[in-house]
Structure 1
Amino acid sequence: MPRTIVITGASSGVGLAAAEQLAATDTVVLVGRTPQRLEAAARQVRDAHVFRADFEDLDQVRDLAAQLREAYPKIDVLANNAGGMVEPYRRTKDGFEATIQGNHLAPFLLTHLLRDRLTGGVVIGTASRAHMRGVPDPDDLVGDPARYKAFPQYGAAKAANILFAAEAARRWPEITSVSFHPGVVRTNFGAGKATRFFYKYAPFLVTPEKAGALLVWLANNQHLVNGAYYVGHKVSTPFRHAGDPALAARLWDASAEATGVRG
């Protein structure tokens, strides 16, 4: 029986590549922000279901969750893949720094709202080795524009992805939660012309198809280590702060308060 697989950030890059591969056997749900790109992605993915939400607006995340709950009694895999780097500093309508909201608070909220649909399933968070560059501060999810630096803040958000997966495994044993590093992927990722040029043209970058295949491997693997951080097909130890259970618990509680969820 086909599984239901929800992939956020599915209109391009890793998410779209994974969706194309998974659609051969499963019902794939594409979630993205930009209507035109979503429409183009839907033409590439066989029988795809499409939903739109901007993760810089938590009300749209709540609406998305409600739509997904109505459409699917069970979700077998939720791939929290949406995210990116923001430059310069931007504060969302919800009052949080945009990088931490788009990469962490929004998927945190979405996963909570879909929790009962995910029982027995898998949640996969697209993290990054960039997590070594920044530490999330549970006491400050707003940030200071005067001290803002895009790469460290992106690193902090990716560390938050790893911490969330590990803490979810401790709190929600009925769901398998993991995070992974997809490689340095050739996409339209980045903030600023120089960064975007690098991620589009540097010769050693991983293709979206190869990174997407890793997401597919995780989605299909019945022997994942709950709470683990994967690099390639192996469990890896993240940098110290991203493996700190105390920080994970503090971040969870702060994120729950920020998004208005419990559990």
Structure 2
Amino acid sequence: MTDRRPQFGYFPAPEAGAPTALLDTAKRLDELGFDLIGIQDHPYQSRFLDTWTLLSAIAAVTEKITVFPDVACLPLRPPAVLAKSAATLDLLSGGRVELGLGAGIFWDAIEAMGGPRRSPGESVEALREAVTIVRGMWSGKRSITHEGEYYSVKGLHPGPAPVHDIGIWLGAYKPRMLRTVGELGDGWIPSLGYIDDDGLAAANDLIDAGAEKANRDPGSIRRILNVGDISGLDDKVEFFVRYAREFRIDGFLIDCPAIHSELSGFAQNTIPRVRDALG
């Protein structure tokens, strides 16, 4: 079981057809005291807004809520530029940014947009290199050099540094990526629908093993679950308490079709009851 205060967030689809509605929802979430807003990143999807631009707009109309890409499509976002984007938004928002990062999926669409096509093994190695460069960009060093097979920077002057230590939360399902979460990541972001309870338990074991191999504390790695639509849950409190206790989930991102009524009740009733139950 996690010993962190569980955080709750929202996972809206970045539909281009209703951009102002997305900002209105973000303001409502902020007013209700939600902790997180995560935006999926599929730049090749014609009906979606650009994730970083949307996150910036959300940060501008909110005051407290944290924003992050859930998760950024690394093959279409060079790591040094991505790190600078995250640090810039963290500075502008007063420290309200985390970085969700994914190795890539939907390779036909990525290649169609000018990105590289990578095998599963190549995508993991590219992500590992990217994490090194991203952290270097936030290090405050005078210059950084990394000569990798997929990404290289040579004598790069990093910066600016973010306001706070931005967490790198990795989207992962396969064993090698899950061990990488434990070795290099600050958090893990799976989604229900892509993983079941048995998968969560097995994934936690692999993350813990990766962390122990790297002499890291497995308990320091956050576990943030994209839950999706919760409107059909009979006992919402029991659902969240069980996932926190059994799978060490300390962050939940939900989706509600009936936005305002569902979110108000969830924020005012469900969240406090979950936190009380978890002590």
Taking structure 2 as the reference length, the TM-score comes to 0.35
Larger gyration radius, structure 1 or structure 2: 2
Taking structure 1 as the reference length, the TM-score comes to 0.37
